[in-house]
Structure 1
């Protein structure tokens, strides 16, 4: 095991993921820490030399979140959670409707449905997809615990909690790590290394940047459960030759690390390259709110209108008082007129709004999404499904690309899940080939438009009854389609008796002859 943790070059990758995570979580203090390199403290603001430097350090320091607050000012900075909105939209595009995982073996299909077709598993996929959007990818791994469920399960692991190993761009092994305890400078880490056929558990005590020495699993309550399960080498057999984990990239190629072989297979975050736009949007909204703050109406009144509140207690103005006494009215510039003037600055609403909308639109386009995906349909709630598809064309293309990565990852890890489930819980399920993963259509067709299309195809005799039923009900099984076709042919009177079976007392054979009309 390497001494530093995470080992190079993954320390650079995880540092970049921390920046993306700061935008995803939207914590202003974390953003200040990322772009200033120091924790936010309640001290007098100071200028930093890094602000005037060139290169990456100077560029980060000149971010809105990296600029120092001038001495004597308390500047309130506002964060707009556009990054979190993008990550949520990405997950919704993929898993608002769960995918279907199909295998030929009936027993394997039953175990897959039991393990994956549940609200808890669907929610876990949503979580994994949202994290993958922010960090560039996510891991799926097979876990099992008879006290929790009598079947194997899928678990999602964030990309910044793993160190992968690749072979020809495919995941060959991966080490997941978790901080289980922090005692002052001592950091306890639980390492789970997934290899084909086994999982290796280890517990290390080191520092924030060093892995440290290995210690027995029983020394910490969070890993004591694994102590009696591992063999002398710390392994737990999985019962399958497959790797019980899969990596799902958000999207490839990775622009940042394409020249680093160990990092090139990692996915690209939706935030990659648009951090500056996120920063600019926060600056615009902060300026907008500053206009609101300084535009509050203020009154300037002569000193004679102020009520003395006593020594050391200042003076106040009662705007409801009707009679005032002015003693030195003629001493001010020779004027005997006492005036109360109102000061109120204009709020530049249109300028700020237009700038914010343009930055948002540019950010979404760079990330691969349409503005309509975030709910901006110009207030028109009556648009058809065809219009929705047109407005969200860019988002749908991005969704289709991501769905292929998820289909590949789910297929590999589902095959491992079935074999591990059989080894641990028994049964006869087998998966000789990878399962098929089908994602449902995101935009449902407009029923009225679909009905017109089906009617036109029927009138033109360009599609059979079977084809038209499948167009209207794409999610139906073959037996459901056959039954519906038979019912339609019977109701329309297009069935004829089967001469080979008709004896005068039997009903017409719809099933045998309906194929004539398909």
Structure 2
């Protein structure tokens, strides 16, 4: 499938999907300007300088458009007033926490070949770990992310893996499987003119193209050499890696509730924010009202007119804050001998705090996590990993569900990288093209004291071997290091000695050999 023809509407995404992606991207940005621009019905265009949010007629309309525009962030700021709305970055915190649960401990990649295994370790430590953290955050926020192979001889001699959000590519999905993807980014814009770079990944080839159009139209193709970012690229890069793609799509969920009936979207996931947009909006409104109470509760002092100092003709009067005053002949008011009155409104702290906590808890629960994952210690301190997992059961089940989806995507892209290195970038001897087995580590582990006590009890009950105990106490060690540790423990404890019953006995002392089956005894 070639690059899109000229004058293609861009981006070619179903309106319902595009609307959701723009909402999620705005909340993920944690930028009040982008959120306000989104709900003020003014599209935010990547690459165009930001503008002050403007009031739009949609705020005064009925129906769905008017309802969305009349959300807290869609309410127009009265003319002549400054915007005082506050934003709580809970949405970005959810995305970051999701990535930490999955990849704070990087997954292990295992193959049969020792040389290939060594190469996989180099890939992990060479940048794949931080790429997975980025991809996990983008997937949680935008409903999915792409793992893409790129290469540049001026940067590094071989390919590496990058992460792209779901709003940065147009997927070619067939029965829920990825058959290709077109990545795009803005190279520049001048007035209404917009220049985009497109990069399409297909089986056996990557196609490049630059287009000059408008904000909502791809426009016409232009020369790749016209821009420094693309002048070294070929229009078509061909390679032979079999049926594999140089890109993998990792959805955040297996199904998307919002567009199950939209053709061509089977295989796209949905964000952790799905269904919580109005709650996120209400949380910001609550925090803004809370801070408004704080502003209005500033102490105000009412003084008699005689206490004010004249600033001269036409300059009015003012209150001078000093320590020594000359007595004034001002009659006292009833119940106040000095005539000074202090006014300070009450801050509704408890009401706002309870409302904000309830909204935050509902948003976190709808995203599939437990409140304790976000630092809520209302259940008390956790003493063991078992207690932590019990309190964070919802987060652990969400992590396990996402890990299943990520394991497939990681295996696909790593296998494609091995195949690409074997054909286009030869030089790593002994490396075979194998599909790795991806295993995620336990993100919550017992402390060393608990593990040692468990190992002592198992040893006392003679219910586990030394190798099992070493693996229990040292889950981070690989198999070879664990075996070496077992030998050291046996040697130091004196248990690594020969059996005294058979020690020193040769073959002649071993006694008569057992007769073979069917052989007569002598």
Q: Which TM-score bucket, shorter chain as reference?
A: 0.7 to 0.9
Shift in alpha-carbon separation, 1:496–1:235, aligned structure 2, 3 A:
same
CA distance in 1, matches of 2:462, 2:149: 50
Shift in alpha-carbon separation, 1:436–1:482, aligned structure 2, 3 A:
same
CA distance in 1, matches of 2:479, 2:119: 22
Alignment partner for residue 203 of structure 2, among 196, 214, 224?
196
Shift in alpha-carbon separation, 1:338–1:446, aligned structure 2, 3 A:
closer
Assess if the C-alpha contact under 8 Å between 1:133 and 1:270 holds in 2: yes
Aligned residue number for residue 458 of structure 1: 459
SS in 2 for 1:346: coil
Aligned residue number for residue 124 of structure 1: 131
Aligned residue number for residue 21 of structure 2: 17
Alignment partner for residue 277 of structure 1, among 279, 297, 319?
279
Kindly state the Cα deviation for residue 493 of structure 1 after the two structures are TM-superposed: 4.3
- 1:147-162 superposed matches below 5 A: 147-162=154-169
- 1:91-240 superposed matches below 5 A: 91-118=99-126, 120-226=127-233, 230=234, 234-240=235-241
CA distance in 2, matches of 1:319, 1:131: 54
SS in 1 for 2:195: strand
Aligned residue number for residue 55 of structure 1: 63
CA distance in 1, matches of 2:51, 2:443: 47
SS in 2 for 1:212: strand
| Alignment TM-score, normalising by the size of structure 2 | 0.86
CA distance in 1, matches of 2:337, 2:475: 84
| Alignment TM-score, normalising by the size of structure 1 | 0.87
Kindly state the Cα deviation for residue 12 of structure 1 after the two structures are TM-superposed: 4.2
CA distance in 2, matches of 1:391, 1:13: 35
Q: Structure 1 residue 352 and structure 2 residue 364: aligned? A: no
Shift in alpha-carbon separation, 1:335–1:174, aligned structure 2, 3 A:
closer
Assess if the C-alpha contact under 8 Å between 1:188 and 1:205 holds in 2: yes
CA distance in 2, matches of 1:436, 1:207: 45
SS in 1 for 2:354: helix
CA distance in 1, matches of 2:187, 2:59: 38
Aligned residue number for residue 510 of structure 1: none
- 1:243-254 superposed matches below 5 A: 243-254=245-256
Aligned residue number for residue 372 of structure 1: 372
CA distance in 2, matches of 1:201, 1:336: 81
Aligned residue number for residue 287 of structure 1: 289
Q: Deviations over 1:267-302 (max 9, x none)?
A: 111111111111111111111111110111111122
Aligned residue number for residue 363 of structure 1: 363
Q: Deviations over 1:457-501 (max 9, x none)?
A: 333333333323222223333333333333444444445536999
Aligned residue number for residue 508 of structure 1: none
Kindly state the Cα deviation for residue 247 of structure 1 after the two structures are TM-superposed: 0.6
Alignment partner for residue 302 of structure 2, among 297, 300, 303?
300
Kindly state the Cα deviation for residue 409 of structure 1 after the two structures are TM-superposed: 0.4
Aligned residue number for residue 509 of structure 1: none
Kindly state the Cα deviation for residue 155 of structure 1 after the two structures are TM-superposed: 1.2
CA distance in 2, matches of 1:449, 1:370: 24
Assess if the C-alpha contact under 8 Å between 1:94 and 1:403 holds in 2: yes
Shift in alpha-carbon separation, 1:50–1:235, aligned structure 2, 3 A:
closer
CA distance in 2, matches of 1:485, 1:115: 30
Greater shift, 6-15 or 85-94, is seen at: 6-15
Aligned residue number for residue 514 of structure 1: none
Kindly state the Cα deviation for residue 24 of structure 1 after the two structures are TM-superposed: 1.3
Aligned residue number for residue 474 of structure 1: 475
CA distance in 2, matches of 1:282, 1:468: 51
Kindly state the Cα deviation for residue 219 of structure 1 after the two structures are TM-superposed: 1.9
CA distance in 2, matches of 1:498, 1:336: 100
SS in 2 for 1:345: coil
Assess if the C-alpha contact under 8 Å between 2:310 and 2:317 holds in 1: yes
Aligned residue number for residue 322 of structure 1: 325
CA distance in 2, matches of 1:496, 1:29: 73
Q: Deviations over 1:80-106 (max 9, x none)?
A: 111111111111111112112222233
Aligned length in residues: 493
Assess if the C-alpha contact under 8 Å between 1:144 and 1:152 holds in 2: yes
Assess if the C-alpha contact under 8 Å between 1:284 and 1:356 holds in 2: yes
Assess if the C-alpha contact under 8 Å between 2:12 and 2:170 holds in 1: no
SS in 2 for 1:194: strand
CA distance in 1, matches of 2:451, 2:336: 82
CA distance in 2, matches of 1:335, 1:412: 82
Aligned residue number for residue 511 of structure 1: none
Assess if the C-alpha contact under 8 Å between 2:384 and 2:450 holds in 1: no
Aligned residue number for residue 256 of structure 1: 258
Aligned residue number for residue 418 of structure 2: 418
Assess if the C-alpha contact under 8 Å between 2:95 and 2:141 holds in 1: yes
Shift in alpha-carbon separation, 1:456–1:156, aligned structure 2, 3 A:
same
Kindly state the Cα deviation for residue 450 of structure 1 after the two structures are TM-superposed: 2.5
CA distance in 1, matches of 2:228, 2:78: 49
Alignment partner for residue 69 of structure 1, among 55, 77, 85?
77
